[in-house]
Amino acid sequence: MPSAHRNLLKRLAVDLAALCSNPNDLDHAFDLLNATYSTDVAQAARDRLKADPSIQALVKDQYWGHWPTAKELVDLPAGSLGHVYGLFLTSQGLSELPAPELSKEMASDDAYLQLRIRYTHDLWHVIAGLPITMAGEAAANGLTTEQLRWPGSALLIAADLVHRVSDADEVTAVDVGVAIAYGLNLGATAQPLLAQRWEEGWETPLQTWRDALGIRALLRQSPFPLLTGENPRS
């Protein structure tokens, strides 16, 4: 086995061991994601995404519209995608996620995909009604794994499940296994989230977005409580 592969496996093993003990360890979670970006599995996932007609135009344009500040988002019409997203960011104390660590040899289209996926992560939480909790992130990993075939997200699911069986006494509002199953179902049901030009619909009602993505009915079965005042059961 080449030394580079051995080093990668050791790096992933360290990250996974830490995450199996503590799924909320963001440093190891981001390191695991960064470590997987240069793998053959990740490249196959990117190639699959670039072959999707609904995503091709986005990649060709390397589309990136205007992202308002959190305050500007909150000031948008109540119930709009931007308004709910702004409330979500401010209520959770969230800021922009760190940029992915990419190889200098990575093609520009692949680098664009990685950046776009990382940058829209919290927005996907809002669209899917997933809170920033251990179970909410587990559901988001299920959604990402199903839609993107992302190796990093699949490994995060594995760590979540190992933690679930090794710390059976831990009580969460939503069981992590149920959350993952729900996220996978969301990913299989929804139109490709990566293909969406969210920036052109900040003022569009969130429910309209959910209808267009085909997930309105499924959200009525969500195991999660209300998210930033948005009722998926309405």
Domain ranges of the chain: 3-219
Q: How much is the pLDDT for 171?
A: 65
Q: What is the reported pTM?
A: 0.90
Rounded to 5 degrees, what angle do the CA atoms 181, 221, 187 make?
Answer: 45
- The mean predicted confidence, pLDDT, of the chain is 90
Q: What is the per-residue pLDDT across 68-121, written as a single tens digit (0 to 9) for each?
A: 999 999 999 999 999 999 999 988 877 766 778 878 878 899 999 999 999 999
Q: How much is the pLDDT for 227?
A: 56
Q: Which residues of the chain have pLDDT under 50?
A: 228-234
Q: How much is the pLDDT for 1?
A: 61
Per-position b or e across 149-186, b if 16+ CB within 10 A of its CB: bbbbbbbbbebbbbbbeeeeeeeeebebeebbebbbbb
